[in-house]
């Protein structure tokens, strides 16, 4: 059963949905949404178990996509452009594959489309570590993967640290399990809407070659790299992210 998601709409114009990363919530998309809402109606949501959305068990990224699909129908917001970052990118993939009628154009950012044995083990390991000892012991390593050093030195990751420490640990574990079992790779070739696969030049979690491989698996997909972009580019570099995402959506949704 779909979870009713906390959400917010800002601006007016063509409809655009933004999806956040694991452990975060829609408030971390506000800087990017503020820029894009100057020309789009921007919908941001808290994925299930995140922010103000209620927790419900999830085992697959399609569980999160089902929630989003239900909300889009309730709001009469579909079809829309969608931009998902990190875990949000996997949810965007699942939405585009399962509910293509919902998606006019898609940005899959900072994410892959399939797991190797090594990446599967790494993701499940992060779920197991949090389940065993909580979030505190893994925070530093997580921030190092997600943000650039200079940003961390200035304390730019403080709000993210606080958010992760305040989360229901089940949400983190479910999300990493779902990401570890992503299986959209064989289905992406069916996508017919415009797609942009966006990588961060300094993304340690999902380096550019991984994102390029995803782009190569989608007929007609575009590929772009944000120089210096970290895994969480939407939060650390919202202006630079908007300069890539905005023009793509403007053209695709015209």
Mean pLDDT for 32-61 is 97
The per-residue pLDDT for 172 is 95
Mean pLDDT for 114-139 is 89
Dist CA 223 CA 28 (whole Å):
24
DSSP state letter for 218:
S
- Torsional sign, CA 245, 101, 213, 215: negative
The per-residue pLDDT for 183 is 81
Pick the CATH number of 7-114+182-253 from 3.40.50.620, 1.10.274.50, 3.90.226.10, 3.40.50.1820: 3.40.50.1820
Task: Name every residue whose Cβ is closer than 8 Å to that of residue 119 and which is 6 or more positions away in sequence.
Answer: 112, 180
Look up tokens 């997600």; give the residue.
Answer: 146
User: Binning pLDDT at 50, 70 and 90, where does residue 171 land?
Assistant: very high
The per-residue pLDDT for 169 is 94
Mean pLDDT for 106-112 is 96
User: Binning pLDDT at 50, 70 and 90, where does residue 26 land?
Assistant: very high
pTM of the model: 0.96
> Mean of the per-residue pLDDT values for the chain?
96
Task: Please give the C-alpha separations between residue 106 and each of 94, 102, 113, 249, 253, in angstroms, as whole numbers.
Answer: 11, 10, 14, 8, 10
User: pLDDT (tens digit, 9 = 90+) per residue, 198-230?
Assistant: 999 999 999 999 999 999 999 999 999 999 999
**Cβ neighbour number for residue 222 with a 10 Å cutoff:** 14
3-state helix/strand/coil string of 93-153: HHHHHHCHHHEEEEEEECCCCCCCHHHHHHHHHHHHHHHHHCCHHHHHHHHHHHCCHHHHH
The per-residue pLDDT for 52 is 97
Percent of the chain whose pLDDT exceeds 90: 88
35 close to 234: Cβ distance less than 8 angstroms: no
User: Binning pLDDT at 50, 70 and 90, where does residue 1 land?
Assistant: confident
Q: Which two tokens stand for residue 38?
A: 């100057």
Examine the pLDDT at 170 and tell me if it is beyond 90. yes
**Cβ neighbour number for residue 60 with a 10 Å cutoff:** 17
The per-residue pLDDT for 125 is 87
The per-residue pLDDT for 126 is 87
For the chain, the structural domain boundaries read 7-114+182-253
User: Binning pLDDT at 50, 70 and 90, where does residue 123 land?
Assistant: confident
Mean pLDDT for 40-67 is 97
The per-residue pLDDT for 217 is 93
User: pLDDT (tens digit, 9 = 90+) per residue, 175-190?
Assistant: 999 999 988 888 999 9
Look up tokens 């650039």; give the residue.
Answer: 148
Mean pLDDT for 143-157 is 97
Question: In 6-116, where does DSSP find H-type helix?
Answer: 30-36, 61-75, 87-98
The per-residue pLDDT for 114 is 86
């Amino acid at each position: 059963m779909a979870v009713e998601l906390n959400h917010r709409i800002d601006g007016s114009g063509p409809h655009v949905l933004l999806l956040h990363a694991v452990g975060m919530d829609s408030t971390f998309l506000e800087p990017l949404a503020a820029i894009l809402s100057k020309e789009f109606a921007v919908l941001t949501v808290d994925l299930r178990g995140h922010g103000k959305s209620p927790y419900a068990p999830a085992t697959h990224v399609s569980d999160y996509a089902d929630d989003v699909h239900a909300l889009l129908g309730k709001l009469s917001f579909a079809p829309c452009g969608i931009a998902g970052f990190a875990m949000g990118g996997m949810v965007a993939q699942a939405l585009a594959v399962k509910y293509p009628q919902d998606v006019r154009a898609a940005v899959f950012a900072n994410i892959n489309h399939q797991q190797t044995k090594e990446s599967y083990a790494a993701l499940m390991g992060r779920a197991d570590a949090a389940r065993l000892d909580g979030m505190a012991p893994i925070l530093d390593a997580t921030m190092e993967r997600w943000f650039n050093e200079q940003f961390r030195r200035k304390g730019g990751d403080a709000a993210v640290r606080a958010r992760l420490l305040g989360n229901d640990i089940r949400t983190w574990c479910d999300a990493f399990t779902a990401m570890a079992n992503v299986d959209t790779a064989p289905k992406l070739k069916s996508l017919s809407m415009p797609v942009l696969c966006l990588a961060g030049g300094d993304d340690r979690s999902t380096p550019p070659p991984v994102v390029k491989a995803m782009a190569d698996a989608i007929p007609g997909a575009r590929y772009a790299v944000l120089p210096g972009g970290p895994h969480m580019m939407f939060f650390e570099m919202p202006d630079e992210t908007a300069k890539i995402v905005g023009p793509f959506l403007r053209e695709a949704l015209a």
